[in-house]
C-alpha cells in the first residue's frame, strides 16, 4: 500500500497542502499537543529520574528517504506475520511488532549522523555488545539518560532519540553476535531482533538499518545525581 509509506501527519510541508516535506530537524512548539504527547511519554519512561531531568528542546526528524526505507521494512514485516502468524515464537502480539517509542541515547556529533543516515550498525560496540552487535534501543528513558549513552555536550546538554523500531519477533541476545539466531523450525529464518529478557524485554537490538526511524530528538539537562 502506498499509504503505508506516507510520513506521519505531523510533518511540515514546504508550502501549505504540499507533499514536498521540509528536510531536517524541526523544533516543536512547547504549546503544541505533539510536544505534550512526546514530553509526557519521555517523562513517564524516566521513572524516578524524572525529577532530575529538564527538557530543553524537542525536535521532529523529517528525513523522507529514511522514513520510506523504514516504512517498507515495517510493511514487509507486518505482512510476513499476518500471513504466517505461527512463525512468531516469542512475540505473538501483532500490534507489538512495532514499538513506538524506544529510546537511544547519543552524543551531539553522532546525533547529526543518525538524523541524516539513520542507525548505522557500524557504530555498534561504541558502548556495548552484550546482546549482539547491532543498534541498541531501550524501553526506558531512565536507562538511556545515563551519561555513558547520552553524552553531555560542553553545555551539559544530553540527547536521546525517541524511535519507532520494528522489533518483530525476538530472541535472547548473545554477546557479540552478528545476527539474530535462527528460528527452531527453519534454520534459514532468523528472528528479527535480540533482547535482554525474552519474557519482559527492556533492551532491543536490531541488525538492519531500516528497522528503526529516529522520530524525535529530545535535548535535556540532567540536574541531579545519576
pLDDT tens digit sequence for 127-167: 577 888 899 999 999 999 999 999 999 999 999 999 999 99
Q: pLDDT digits over 39-87, tens only?
A: 999 999 999 888 899 999 999 999 999 999 999 999 999 998 988 888 8
Could you give the C-alpha distances from 8 to 15, 110, 218, in angstroms and in order? 16, 24, 18
Q: pLDDT digits over 176-222, tens only?
A: 899 999 999 888 899 999 999 999 999 999 999 999 999 999 999 98
Q: What does the buried/exposed string (b/e) look like for 92-124 if buried means 16 or more CB atoms within 10 Å of the residue's CB?
A: eeeeebbbebbbbbbbbebbeebbeebbebebb
Burial class of 31 by CB neighbour count within 10 A (0 to 12, 13 to 18, 19+)? exposed
Beta-carbon contacts of residue 15 (< 8 Å; ≥ 6 apart): none
pTM of the model: 0.93
Question: Residues of the chain with pLDDT > 90: what percent?
Answer: 72
Q: Please state, in angstroms and rounded to a whole number, the distance separating the CA atoms of residues 219 and 226.
A: 17
Amino acid at each position: 500500500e502506498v499509504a503505508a509509506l506516507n510520513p506521519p501527519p505531523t510533518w511540515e510541508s514546504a508550502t501549505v497542502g504540499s507533499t514536498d516535506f521540509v528536510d531536517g530537524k524541526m523544533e516543536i512548539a512547547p504549546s503544541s499537543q505533539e510536544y505534550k504527547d512526546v514530553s509526557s511519554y519521555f517523562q513517564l519512561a524516566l521513572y524516578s529520574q524524572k525529577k532530575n531531568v529538564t527538557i530543553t528542546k524537542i525536535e521532529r526528524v523529517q528525513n523522507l528517504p529514511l522514513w520510506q526505507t523504514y516504512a517498507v521494512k515495517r510493511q514487509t514485516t507486518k505482512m510476513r506475520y499476518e500471513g504466517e502468524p505461527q512463525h512468531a515464537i516469542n512475540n505473538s502480539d501483532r500490534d507489538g511488532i512495532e514499538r513506538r517509542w524506544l529510546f537511544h541515547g547519543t552524543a551531539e556529533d553522532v546525533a547529526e549522523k543518525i538524523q541524516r543516515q539513520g542507525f548505522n550498525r557500524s557504530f555498534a560496540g561504541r558502548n556495548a555488545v552484550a546482546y549482539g552487535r547491532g543498534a541498541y534501543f531501550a524501553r526506558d528513558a531512565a536507562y538511556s539518560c545515563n551519561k555513558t549513552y547520552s553524552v553531555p555536550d560542553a553545555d551539559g546538554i544530553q540527547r536521546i532519540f525517541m524511535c519507532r523500531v520494528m522489533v518483530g519477533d525476538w530472541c535472547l541476545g548473545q554477546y557479540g553476535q552478528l545476527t539474530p539466531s535462527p528460528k527452531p523450525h527453519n534454520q534459514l529464518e532468523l528472528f528479527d531482533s535480540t533482547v535482554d529478557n525474552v519474557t519482559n524485554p527492556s533492551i532491543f537490538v536490531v541488525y538492519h538499518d531500516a528497522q528503526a526511524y529516529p522520530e524525535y530528538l529530545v535535548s535535556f539537562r540532567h540536574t541531579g545525581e545519576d
